[in-house]
Amino acid sequence: MKNKELFIIEGESKLSGRVAISGAKNAALPLLAASLLFDKGFKLQNVPRVTDIFTMLDLLNVIGTEHSWIGENTLLLEPGIKNQIAPYSIVEKMRASIYVLGPLVAKTGYAKVSFPGGCNFGPRPINFHLDGLKKLGVDINIEHGFIVAKARTLHGNEIVFEQKTVGGTIHLLMTASLIEDETILHNVALEPEVVQVAEFLKQAGAEISGIGSEVLRVRGKKSLTPPYKTRIIPDRIEAGTFLVMALATGSSIVVDNVIPEHVFTTIEKLKDAGAKIEISGSSVKIKPSEDYIMPLNIYTSPYPGFPTDMQAQFMAMLTVARGVSIIRETIYPSRFHHAYELQRMGADIEVKEGEAVVKGVEKLEGTVVNASDLRASASLVIAGLMAKGKTIVKNIYHLDRGYENFEHKLALLGAKIKRKKEV
């Protein structure tokens, strides 16, 4: 049963101060799953304590990998495989659970993984994962809601992704790292999380070239040894969320622990909307240049384009922009559930297939809204901070999947936000 909690937000308050960004859960999750490739233990640093991480740790525990927290955000992993079945009760909670499939079958020759769950904003097929595994020699059958994978021996191959896929790239990269033949992956995703996984596997002994480009060549090893310590990169989506929040509320804040080039597109769009931004090392200072927000045209696309995971946050901000904004969602065309909740707060948004037209209004009004997914949750918090009066955001378990200590960080910036159990 999901935790029934909500946020109560008092709007129209300025933010100020500094906020430190946590590690990227979308980099940490595959590195946790990669533990199944190894026989030796290793440490991951800067791991965010968010629900998705705990879900992956629960799954790895069922399989046989043990873990312990050393300090607040460092994990010690002790790999082990005692069970090759990933049950629905865990896998349904998180799409990234699919990452254990390839490593398990590469290491043991067998895996049985339930179809994955996660955020609900339209179809996200796993055919790229399964088709790629088949090309590497894995026999795959669907039985009673489970993906059953078997392989006596795996072999390298040349794989061309029809479209860029972060999960598919990472999954096949991990699997290929235990195959002694060469595997060539074409049209791979370029996200920083993909780059971190590739560099990690290279440090573990796999021969990988083309990291950061659209073609990866992988020659794996029969046995890999993980680097003993790896630090998870900062979460670029969390960083972007706080930057948007600042401009949306007309506030000046400093966001620390950022890799600026990872949020370049977000920063450029914020400048177009009227933000003044100063970058100093790993810190980004943002403040408004005017007392209004300029409208934007946004077109989501794979990295280094505008991230789909920032679309909802920008939409919340643009509800009060001076003019009409157009948001085209090319990654997940149905990812607009948050628009209907923003309408309940007085936003003027017309939703079409793959596009939203946002006409700026003078002010949002606080009300009760329901979060539908992880980033929608963040957008509704932003809207609540902007709105007049009290906003209640329900179903915040979605937000807890990807944001660490979110309300505490906000409170330190001066936001009036409280978490309460839903009655």
| Least reliable range by pLDDT among 107-121, 144-158, 259-273, 333-347 | 107-121
| DSSP letter, residue 386 | H
Is 389's pLDDT higher than 60? Answer: yes
- Name the DSSP class of 212: T
Q: Do domains 5-22+234-421 and 25-231 have the same CATH topology?
A: yes
Give the model's pLDDT for residue 114: 92
- Check if the beta carbon of residue 274 is closer than 8 Å to that of residue 252: no
What is the Rg, in whole angstroms, of the alpha carbon atoms belonging to the chain?
Answer: 22
CA separation (Å) from 362 to 15, 23, 234, 292? 20, 36, 35, 10
User: How would residue 126 be classed by pLDDT, with cut points 50, 70 and 90?
Assistant: confident
Side chain identity at residue 362, one-letter code = E
Residue 121 pLDDT class (50, 70, 90 cuts): very low
- C-alpha span between 404 and 51 (Å, rounded): 9
| 204 contacts 226 by C-beta, under 8 angstroms | yes
Cβ(46)–Cβ(22) below 8 Å: yes
In this predicted structure, what is the pLDDT of residue 238? 98
Q: What is the largest CA-CA distance in the chain?
A: 65
**Residue 27: count of CB within 10 angstroms of its CB:** 29
| Residue 3: band (very low, low, confident or very high) from pLDDT cuts 50, 70, 90 | low
In 3D, which of 187, 183, 198 has the Cα closest to residue 106?
A: 183
Distance CA 312, CA 334 (A): 12
Instruction: Tell which residue, 321, 319, 310, has the closest CA to residue 288.
Output: 321
Please tell me the predicted confidence (pLDDT) of residue 239: 98
CATH architecture of 5-22+234-421: Alpha-beta prism (3.65)
Helix, strand, coil percentages in the chain from 3-state DSSP, rounded to 5: 35, 25, 40
- Written as six digits, the tokens of 3 are 């935790």
Residues near 145 by Cβ (< 8 Å), separated by ≥ 6? 88, 114, 115
Please count the CA atoms within 13 angstroms of the CA of 272 that sit on its side-chain side: 14
Please, which pLDDT band fits residue 349 given cuts at 50, 70 and 90?
very high
What tens digit of pLDDT does each residue of 175-205 get? 999 999 999 999 999 999 999 999 999 999 9
pLDDT at 171 over 50: yes
Angle between helices 25-33 and 192-203 (to 10 degrees): 30
pLDDT at 125: 66
User: For the residues 393-405, what does the mean pLDDT come to?
Assistant: 96
pLDDT of res. 2: 55
How far apart, in whole angstroms, are the C-alpha atoms of residue 20 and residue 391? 25
Residue 124 has pLDDT above 80, yes or no: no
Catalytic residue list contains 35 = no
- The neighbouring-strand residues paired with 148 are 112, 141
**pLDDT in the model for residue 117:** 59
Burial class (CB in 10 A: 0-12, 13-18, 19+), 40: middle
Sign of CA dihedral 339, 340, 342, 346: positive
What whole-number distance in Å separates Cα of residue 380 and Cα of residue 391?
Answer: 9
Predicted local distance difference test score (pLDDT) of residue 122: 47
pLDDT confidence bin for 116, thresholds 50/70/90 = confident
| Residue 7: alpha-carbon gap to chain centroid | 21
**Alpha-carbon separation of residue 365 from 134, 359, 385 (angstroms):** 52, 16, 10
- Assess contact for 335 and 122: CB atoms under 8 A: yes
Structure tokens at 122: 């339209």
Is the separation of the CB atoms in 320 and 364 below 8 Å? Answer: yes
Stated pTM of the model:
0.96
Is the model's pLDDT at 283 over the cut of 90?
yes
- Cα(218)–Cα(156) distance, integer angstroms: 9
**273 residue type, one letter:** A
pLDDT tens-digit profile of 13-66? Answer: 899 999 999 999 999 999 999 999 999 999 999 999 999 999 999 999 999 999
Cβ-proximal residues to 143 (8 Å cutoff; 6+ apart), any chain:
none
Is pLDDT of 1 > 50? no
The DSSP output letter for 36 is G
Q: Where are the domains of the chain?
A: 5-22+234-421, 25-231
Question: Beta-strand (E) ranges in 157-225?
Answer: 158-160, 182-186, 207-209, 215-219
Does residue 377 have a pLDDT over 70? yes
What is the pLDDT, as a whole number, of residue 219? 98
Q: Is the C-alpha dihedral spanning 20, 67, 205, 179 positive or negative?
A: negative
pLDDT-derived band at 334 (thresholds 50, 70, 90) equals confident
Taking residues 288-296, report their average pLDDT: 96
Q: What is the C-alpha separation between 33 and 47, in angstroms, rounded?
A: 14
Mean pLDDT, range 143-162, rounded to an integer: 95
Query: What average pLDDT does the segment 111-122 reach?
Result: 70
Domain 25-231: give its CATH architecture.
Alpha-beta prism (3.65)
**How open is the CA angle 70-86-332, to the nearest 5 degrees?**
90
Using pLDDT thresholds of 50, 70 and 90, give the confidence band for residue 143.
Answer: very high
Q: Is the pLDDT of residue 119 over 60?
A: no
From the list 21, 119, 136, 387, the catalytic residue is 119
Residue pLDDT, tens place only, 82-99: 999 999 999 988 888 999
pLDDT score for 13: 85
Q: Please give the helix or strand (H or E) that residue 16 lies within, else none.
A: strand 16-20
